[in-house]
Structure 1
Amino acid sequence: MQKIYTVQGETVDSVCHKHYGNTAGITEQVIEANPHITFLPPVLPTNTLLMLPTTTKPTATKKLIQLWD
């Protein structure tokens, strides 16, 4: 379920951290859901509306190499 959030002079990263607990891979999803913000300054104007999509935590796609046991 998507939420609508009213910005209070924040950056997209700070909104993501506040609502999702981190920004890894989520910031891009929020920007994609809100293409209108690409034309705004980094600190979004107060009362800008953001759609916060339902996301899942990004999963690791790279296999880690362990050099020592």
Structure 2
Amino acid sequence: MTETIKIVGDNLTLDLILWRKHGLRGLALIEETMKLNPKLTGVYVPVGTDVVLPDLPAETVQAREVVTLFG
């Protein structure tokens, strides 16, 4: 499910918007966000623009082997 936000601040870039919304993992969504918003062409997102943000994919948990040194 996607979310649409309206830009209200100056000098906001797409990577900054994704970082504020999703944290560090949001930076992996830049390409997908550009596909959802083909009208975004410049470095800065203009004030008043509606931007569609994708959701983060489900996080996969990988099992790690535990190594004990004393036992």
TM-score w.r.t. structure 2 length? 0.66
Please tell me whether the aligned partners of residues 16 and 27 of structure 1 are also in contact (alpha carbons under 8 angstroms). Answer: yes
RMSD: 2.0
Cα distance in 1, alignment partners of residues 22 and 59 from structure 2: 12
Structure 1 segments unaligned to the other structure (5+ residues): 60-69
**Aligned counterpart, 1:53:** 54
Cα distance in 1, alignment partners of residues 44 and 15 from structure 2: 10
Cα distance in 1, alignment partners of residues 32 and 59 from structure 2: 11
Matched residues, number = 57
Shift of 1:25: 1.9
**Aligned counterpart, 2:3:** 3
- Aligned pair in 2 of structure 1 residues 17, 48: CA closer, same or farther (>3 Å)? same
Q: 1:1-55 CA distances to partner (integer Å, 9 max, x unpaired)?
A: 21111112210000000111124321111111111102xx211111111001123
Once superposed, which parts of structure 1, at least 4 consecutive aligned residues long, lie more than 4 Å away?
none
TM-score w.r.t. structure 1 length? 0.68
Structure with a larger share of its residues in strand: 2
- Aligned pair in 2 of structure 1 residues 57, 31: CA closer, same or farther (>3 Å)? farther
